[in-house]
Structure 1
């Protein structure tokens, strides 16, 4: 009974998290779904995969609907023995996106329990973390994997702290499970940033162990982390191995080309340029929006209301008031250093207040660990605006140059500051009475002092943004003047807002010192104020207007007249939508597209577009079997142009040109007669069959082949992962297939006998085909899935045994 009573506050907290999550996203109760632009794009990308899964109850692991063809490893593929994903599904039992908000709350609450915070303060602290504006806005735009990974960060940190508290069994189990869930979330950039934070934490404790000569405790901790890490990684082996394999094929790996698409020599072989990596860099001054949300304008689509200068300007131009009201709802008030911002990264001024207050308590080492994480995160988020540190990490820290949008490392700051705040909140009520006033007035002086400086420092800013030249040219100087005046007003009003909130919380804590408020009343008032501050800012950006009928997300694209025309053709072909510019998955929803939407596109296909298709090389479109090109007329209406010169699914060629490098292969495509010629880099002329690991089974040496007018290859069977052809040729020939070359998983057989696949024309497959009539088959049966699934099964068994054994010994020890 006592154990149950001890659990009651935690049960109440969890129920509270469920209720708050559902209330915030209440349209889910009537079946509506939040419109997430990225998820709509994902739905287009994954359409063929999902249809195949429904029809066959199996996974294709390959799709032809995007970028000409790519593995589905990063498109939500389901793997055998992925039991961690099943556990994650149990934890995410609420409808999306309430499930992610609940996970924010739950993970942070567990961290605070490990830090021995009482349940009520931990409850408010978890709400404050979850309602941090950045964490809400990523749910609004559909960065679900990012939100998913962030939600498990506090849980991993909790396990690590437990281990360093010498709670080896419990800490090891929590670290193992949380780390497995974190990896399963499948956002490696967020996980990478978490590892950087854990290195700071581990480095600090290691220093303490060595300083105190506690080598035994250090050894135990290291051993626990190794075991937990190995099993967590093993449980996710299939996804990790498959992702590692695909990464070499994607735009996140180094380029083989030494020149740019404009002909200039490349400065680096890194696939992502410095400019691309640092495009989203936080401005140093812009970081002040952590304290006042719209100090830098808020977002690119703020609602300025009818009292704004912009409303006055628009109505003065003769626009009816009802139209002006709608126009001022989408004003580009943001004027920071980044190209686009959907919402400010506001952590809450009261959260910041308590974070500062935490340093007036007894000097605890965890405060300095968290402060180190805050400063580390802040400095790196400045990107090109703090180039010394950023350049060092890009050039010397492994894997850092594989990720873009460096500003997103602020997630570490948004984790560490709320922890500091709750520590300050908790410890304030435990201080001796004479210390409370001292800590309170000093904190108030610092925080209000900073805000007052911001108020008086307003004249230092001109409220001009990086996109203002465009607005000036498009709408004129009077528009810009009104916009700047509104930006200035937002700055002032939000700084005043923050000052008022600090005065309010200062007053509550002062009245508590004077015994006017009881501790419980003071805690509840401060907690409501702290969470309410964040709640209402977040509501400005993600609210009930963000929801649509469920069908709009389940079927996010409607076919155009052009689509309907193309769909009457039931053969196997590809489509290129010019307006999509290789970055839109709308076409993938209806057709087999050479474009798509993905953070890690197939590298060679992207290069083919940049170097050839963008330069109007129709021969390249022909070899990709682009039978239809979707264009738009002057009225914006789409129409489909039939490309009668598309090469088809496969064809025999007469000549192979051997070149020495990828550069020469790409340049050869400039004038290649793709119907009769093929180009192969010499490094790809030696082929190893998938079952062999040493000597090449075939070295292609022939350069010319006889091709008669009756030679043909016909596609008889199409599945994403299985293609079957019949070839007829009176001579030995070389066939080119308009399918993407991927050197892992695909096998080719001619009459049942395995045959080597050659990488032809930079992106396509080629086979040497004997004379006569033959059956040719391509099958995608990735070994990486089989190997990874075996490792995942063994690791999952190990985890279960460890959990059972650990809980048994922990319970025995407690008794």
Structure 2
């Protein structure tokens, strides 16, 4: 029994313990002191989700619509926690109670460890690969920014591949069950771009297995396994059916769907190319994988003491405060991305092991993982490899829905440790062969040559990117600092690679035990990654309750909150990229990567020009509220221009929740309608595109009064006194998939008017109008979602039990 514990249980226990302790120690302020990271995107999310969270707390119900952003949008794009969903509890158990989002790193290490064990890699090497996977700067920069869903999706990649690998290696039932669980969890985080990259990687792995099965004349078995894995993936998808179908239902109406105004952009069925490829990793910038400050680090980063820039500023007599401000926030990054929080660094040691993987790994996995690594790099280069990526964008199904293609580096940094660990393991197995030492030295030479090449390429460039508008004397000093950062990190990487090479050399020449050598390499790896990560996520990144600080009500907020009516607020300070306003008020703006396409059209074609024109006049002392007709129709009662009380401007011309226009202007196209909208008197006029109805009907103008009686995120109740039957316009965003109108107890058709608002034809007399958001896709799929999740869990337990019995039977035999 003691033998079994030491050989079978103890290594895995120590591995899991190391993963847990590393996360706990690095993030001790979060675990022990209750502090949190100041994650910008999470604060944006919290602002946008506040109405939904408050509604759940007060009613116990999930709202499926929120009015807080962009005039209104489906809530399942922001936050959704369906009743009966067990995934949150499951994750809490699997991550041993670690707080979100740092629990993702622990899970990622555990999943990578299991995957590498599946490749028959010894535990101590698998631990090394797991550390490298979780602690690259891609994950830490994502944490710092608040891209929690992305981190979780990436950290689930190894579990998905582990399930696929098990299925193709005589553990079909367990492999399919693990795949189903992993797909369930990855889709829960709703980061479909990472899921798309994961699918590409799994297909690549599958092609490798197809070659093997074909050579062994086992195509029928391959087909059966593939079908089983597809069934498992579908099962995982069904565990998110309510969420997924709702998102897919929404997709055509978002900026990632078909364009409403195709003549305004080059892409009619997805994102605009310039927008999609704005964050494209530079081809040469790939060298940051091995030299972190190769391109200067972050867009703004502190320079070391006595830097060339500091000396230059002092010599020019610059004010000490200005000098310090520049030095602490120097524009060190000189790549071609708009900005960056830091470099994507995979660890010099792991890049060295990756080179050894190319030389030592079994041919099948070497070819598969090397090809996938190159493919992921090519995807990350985006517009810098336009002939390749623009072709994929135009022809690969669904690919034109995604942006920030540099995100593909998350897959790169998964593949590098896998091939690195495979290479190290196979080198250790062949350590007795004379050729192993020669091949190892070849690997050292290749890695050193790669770094020398990187430096030569860098010095062939000018170090000037992202540094325009500076005087020549400061620009020259800044270039010198950028060169120094590159050289400093070059020597740093060479040190870690050299130390690793020495340890492996001692191992190969039997001067050091294998376990001690690998452990030492692992510690060097942690020191290396820790040193770089601390540049971007350190003690200063943690604070007590950043939400409380960020959302503390300003005098301006307090003034608007005195009004308990129903209205919207326009924050003219970067309105369409901030969600702080949404924390307290229904906002004209917001922060989301998949806003409704009609609203985006409105922003670009009408709202932005209208807003800029108003601001220009206001600066001259003329507050022309009549000129902001589209803002008025969106019921914009307050304009916010700062944090002080006198920065709040009340708009007396806001149209209110609903009204009866005097004239209905027929239009034939979206283009015509939005052009008319820019000059429309929205209180008395409305547009209606009859082409949206099969009968091409026209709508009558009515008259009367209408008022809002009660409101909730997904329910609005109005009372109307209609003098003449006709159209009433509501200052609510039109979305056809889910909103239902009940007029005097009977369902009525909701018409799209004014390009994106709701309209109802109301009968004469006293009328009660109730609008409810009850999307059929969601309502009918919740029970399937819940049942499937329990089925997957049961399936996994059965798979583990059967696999355990088979393992015991083999030992007995």
Q: What TM-score, normalized by structure 2, do the two folds share?
A: 0.93
Alignment-derived partner of residue 752 in structure 2 = 759
- Of 202-211 and 123-132, more deviation after overlay is shown by 202-211
Deviation at 1:378, TM superposition (A): 0.9
- Say what the alpha-carbon RMSD is for the aligned residues: 2.0
The Cα of 1:320 is off from its aligned counterpart by 6.6
Is it true that 1:517 corresponds to 2:516 in the alignment?
A: no
Note the C-alpha offset of 1:318: 4.2
Equivalent residue, structure 2, for 1:701: 697
Q: CA deviation at 1:321?
A: 5.8
Question: In the alignment, which residue of structure 2 is the partner of 1:11?
Answer: 13
Q: Secondary structure at the match of 1:773?
A: strand
Match for residue 161 of structure 1 among 137, 155, 165: 165
Conservation of the 8 A alpha-carbon contact between 1:258 and 1:663: no
Identify the match of residue 47 of structure 1 among 27, 50, 63. Answer: 50
Deviations 1:599-648 (A, max 9, x none): 11121112111111112161101111111111259xx9961111111111
8 A Cα contact 1:630 1:639, kept in partner: yes
Query: In 1, Cα distance between the equivalents of 2:673 and 2:770?
Result: 27
Residues 560, 638 of structure 1: 8 Å contact kept: no
Q: Tell me the distance in 2 between the aligned counterparts of 1:479 and 1:146.
A: 38
Residue 120 (structure 1) aligned to one of 114, 119, 124 = 124
Work out the number of aligned pairs and report it: 787
Shift of 1:350: 1.1
Partner of 2:537: 542
Equivalent residue of 2:565, what SS? coil
- Which residue does 2:632 correspond to in 1? 622
Contact 2:666-2:698 at 8 Å conserved across structures: no
> Secondary structure, in 3 states, of the residue corresponding to 1:766?
strand
Does the Cα contact within 8 Å between 2:360 and 2:423 map onto a contact in 1? Answer: yes
1:487 shift after superposition: 0.4
The verdict on how the C-alpha distance between 1:87 and 1:215 changes in structure 2, with shifts beyond 3 A counting, is: same
Task: Report the equivalent of 1:279.
Answer: 278
Question: Unaligned regions of 5+ residues in structure 2, if any?
Answer: 611-626
Q: Is the 8 A contact 1:712 1:729 kept in 2?
A: yes
How many angstroms apart in 2 are the aligned matches of 1:362 and 1:86?
39
Offset of residue 326 of structure 1 = 5.4
CA distance in 2, matches of 1:555, 1:788: 39
Structure 2 contact 710–718 (Cα < 8 Å) conserved: yes
Q: For 1:519 and 1:133, how far apart are their aligned partners in 2? A: 28
Alignment of 1:153-192 (within 5 A): 153-192=157-196
Which secondary structure does the structure 1 equivalent of 2:573 belong to? Answer: helix
1:480 aligned residue: 475
TM-aligned CA deviation for residue 746 of structure 1: 1.3
Partner residue, 1:666: 674
In 2 relative to 1, CA 554–118 (structure 1 residues): closer, same or farther, beyond 3 Å? farther
- Map 1:189-208 to 2 at 5 A: 189-208=193-212
1:591 is the counterpart of 2:594: no
State the partner residue of 1:437: 437
Is the partner of 1:294 in helix, strand or coil?
helix
Is the aligned partner of 1:231 residue 2:235? yes
Q: How far 1:180 sits from its partner (Å)?
A: 1.1
For the residue of structure 2 that corresponds to 1:811, the secondary structure is helix
Structure 1 length as normaliser, TM-score? 0.93
CA contact (8 A) 2:270 2:400 kept: no
Aligned to 2:94: 91
User: Within the alignment, does 1:581 sit opposite 2:585 as a pair?
Assistant: no
CA distance in 2, matches of 1:214, 1:736: 65
- Give 1:155 shift: 0.7
User: Kindly tell me: are residues 803 and 750 of structure 1, through their superposed partners in 2, closer, same or farther at Cα, counting changes over 3 Å?
Assistant: same
2:216 aligned with 1:215 = no
Q: C-alpha separation between the residues in 2 aligned to 1:393 and 1:736?
A: 43
CA distance in 2 between counterparts of 1:10 and 1:126 reads 13
Output the CA distance in 2 between the equivalents of 1:96 and 1:331: 32
Which residue, out of 66, 71, 81, partners 1:68? 71
SS of the residue aligned with 2:217? Answer: coil
Distance 2:753 2:321 in 1: 60
- Structure 1 residue runs of 5 or longer lacking an equivalent are 261-265, 687-698
Contact 2:178 2:796 in 1 (8 A): no
Question: How many angstroms apart in 2 are the aligned matches of 1:227 and 1:85?
Answer: 23
Q: Provide Cα deviations, 1:145-193, integer angstroms capped at 9, x if missing partner.
A: 1001001001101111111212111211111111111111211110111
Residue matched to 1:680: 688
CA drift of 1:329 comes to 2.4
In structure 1, the residue corresponding to 2:390 is in which secondary structure?
A: helix
In the alignment, structure 1 residue 719 sits paired with structure 2 residue 707: no
2:590, 2:239 → 1: CA distance?
A: 30
**Equivalent residues of 1:277, 1:403 under 8 A apart:** yes
Residue pair 2:361, 2:422 contacting (<8 A) in 1 also:
no
**What's the counterpart of residue 729 of structure 1?**
722
Counterparts of 1:35 and 1:723, CA distance in 2? 36
After superposition, the C-alpha distances for 1:228-274 in whole angstroms (9 at most, x for unaligned) are 012111111011011111212211112111333xxxxx333134211
